[in-house]
Amino acid sequence: MSAAGTRIPFTRLAIPVIAMMAVVAASNVLVQHPVEQLGLQDFLTWGAFTYPLAFLVNDLTNRRFGPAGARRVVYAGFALAVLLSIWLATPRIALASGTAFLFGQLLDIGVFNRLRRLSWWHAPLAGSVIGSAVDTALFFSLAFAGDADMSFPVTYASTGITVPLWMGLAYFDFLVKLGFALLALIPYGALMGWLKPWSGAPADGAAR
């Protein structure tokens, strides 16, 4: 295997590809269903609780196979998930999801790779937070802006601010992703010792 990861047999990437496909496809279905318990239907969809796992999969793949291997997983997961999502969700949601997924995950890879020399938690946390911000903004605007069912005004009592429903959902979705980015450090840290770091990574730090 080269340091760039270009000679990794695709069979070795099968597990992260399948995991990525499952996360994105499930999220595309669940994002259409508001969380009605506790009156949260104007705040969150169920997709907010599944999609952040894509960043964990991406970061673990990047650690083990490097940025080139992680990008291959993103491209394969994107293609398979979009095709599946067209069947499970709607073409608009599938297109929005695919666009946001590519930009968010590729940005995560770039940030992770630049910070992998720092302490172990810097790269996965920064990559997930920055990638999530871009992903959230792209997905909700492309999927729901102008949709009558998702654009009616909602006033949030805590602030008195009125925004279209999809904007409110995007804001609270991002807050959940921030929480998950922190929580994901637990399994990431636990798996670091089991997943050998990418051979092209520097040997003098702990993150890789």
**Per-residue model confidence as pLDDT tens digits over 80-89:** 878 877 888 8
d(CA 15, CA 144): 32
Domain count of the fold of the chain = 1
Residues 6+ apart with CB under 8 A from 183: none
The pLDDT value given to residue 169: 92
Residue 23 lies in a domain: yes
Instruction: Print the domain residue range for 75.
Output: 11-135+177-193
Residue 145 lies in a domain: no
- Which residues of the chain, if any, have pLDDT below 50? 1-6, 203-208
CA 90 to chain centre: 19
d(CA 45, CA 111): 27
Q: Are 1 and 199 in contact (CB under 8 A)?
A: yes
The pLDDT value given to residue 187: 95
Residue 141 lies in a domain: no
Residues 6+ apart with CB under 8 A from 37: none
Q: Is 2 exposed, middle or buried (0-12, 13-18, 19+ CB in 10 A)?
A: exposed
Residue 171 lies in a domain: no
Residue 119, phi-psi category: left (phi > 0), alpha (psi -120 to 50), beta (remainder): beta
b/e string for 10-41 if b means 16 or more Cβ within 10 A? eeebeebbebbbbbbbbbbbbbbebbeeeeee
d(CA 72, CA 61): 10
Residue 200 lies in a domain: no
Residue 121 lies in a domain: yes
Q: For 18-49, how does the pLDDT look when each residue is reduced to its tens digit (9 = 90+)? A: 999 899 888 888 988 999 988 888 889 999 99
Q: CB count, 10 Å around CB of 52?
A: 23
Residue 91 lies in a domain: yes
The pLDDT value given to residue 189: 93
Residue 68 lies in a domain: yes
